[in-house]
Structure 1
Amino acid sequence: MEFDPNLPWRTIHGHGFNAHVGPVSFARVSDSEWRFFLDIEAHHINIGGVCHGGVSLTLADIGMGSGAYAAGGNRPCTTIQMDAHFIAAAKKGQRLLGAARLVRATHELAFMECELHAGGRQTLRASGVWKYLSPRKG
């Protein structure tokens, strides 16, 4: 997967925990596919000198969750299940580029898949389920 500068990128600085990870940039490719990226900086690096696995998991969660949110008509949703396989490490200075895809959506759930790539190599493969939240009463 290569970075496409021609996609309609939008940078999100996030809030709460996500603000510590980002900013993350997003682009909608289709009604069921999104791209996103994070530039790996010093605070993303673990003691082994590579991108911390928690950063990769968080980016995958943000990317798939944002896709589920968009696919559900901007309905809030929450992660209820996520599986991930680490394949290779990203390094400081690399762009961690993700692709998320909606596999299936019901009224209550979104099933998502995701890949992350850095330096021309796949670094992570993940899938998960997001539950759409009911509007709060009161």
Structure 2
Amino acid sequence: MADGEDLFPDRPLIAEGEWAGWRLWQGSDPYEDLSGPYYSRVEPDGSVLAAFRAENKHMNGGGFMHGGCMLTFADYCLFVCGRHALADTHAVTVSLNAEFVGPAHVGDLIEGRGEVVRAGGSLVFLRGTISTGGRTIMTYSGVVKKTRARA
């Protein structure tokens, strides 16, 4: 990927407010629309940063971010962080592993980073971290399979 290349030109660019300069990820996955909104941007070093603001709907009964919410966001991160390896193809998650290492609360800015470990002909292997306030709250790894579009 070239320095400064925008991997997400098909996503709306936010012009003002907290998310100015970010791309809104919406409209292609009904479940992510329900659980988000999620945002992404390409950093100056070419890496992808994904984020969302934790709301009450993301919390469990104990007042901490629900593990299912963290896993959903990690799955989203697989696809945005692996976007260049998945260009011009459909794909599905075939494996997602995670370690929960800390809590998140309402109002926290949740950030996801990841990297492609290996991209083959049909499988892409990734790993990354989810954090808030500079501290890791989850690590993840996953495998995404490239698929053909259904007729």
The residue that corresponds to 1:23 in the other structure is 37
Partner of 1:126: helix, strand, or coil? strand
Against the structure 1 CA distance between its residues 32 and 102, is the aligned structure 2 distance closer, same or farther, given a 3 Å change threshold? farther
68, 90, 101: which is aligned to 2:104? 90
The one-letter amino acid of 2:92's match is T
Superposition map of 1:29-48 within 5 A: 29=43, 33-48=47-62
Pair 1:79-2:81 in alignment: no
TM superposition outliers: structure 1 runs of 4+ over 4 Å: none
The one-letter amino acid paired with 2:95 is: Q
Matches within 5 A, 1:47-62: 47-62=61-76
Q: Which amino acid aligns with 2:142?
A: G
Which residue matches 2:118? 104
What residue ranges of structure 1 are gaps of 5+ in the alignment?
none
Per the TM alignment, residue 68 of structure 1 is displaced from its structure 2 partner at its CA by 2.7
Q: What RMSD over aligned residues (CA atoms) do the two structures have, in Å?
A: 2.1
TM value normalised by structure 1:
0.86
> Do the aligned partners of residues 102 and 29 (structure 1) sit closer, same or farther apart at CA in structure 2, a change above 3 Å counting?
farther
Q: How many residues are aligned here?
A: 132
- Tell me the distance in 2 between the aligned counterparts of 1:106 and 1:85: 25
**TM-score, normalising length: structure 2:** 0.79
> Any stretches of 5+ residues in structure 2 without a counterpart?
1-17
Greater RCO, 1 or 2 (C-alpha within 8 Å, sep 6+)? 1
Residue identity over aligned pairs, in percent, reads 29
Preserved contact between residue 112 and residue 127 of structure 1 (Cα < 8 Å): yes
Read off the aligned partner of 1:12 and give its amino acid letter: W
Write 1 or 2 for the structure with the bigger share of strand.
Answer: 1
Q: Following TM superposition, by how much is the alpha carbon of 1:31 offset from its aligned partner in structure 2, in angstroms?
A: 9.5
Distance of 1:32 and 1:112 partners within structure 2? 16
Is residue 70 of structure 1 aligned with residue 87 of structure 2?
A: no
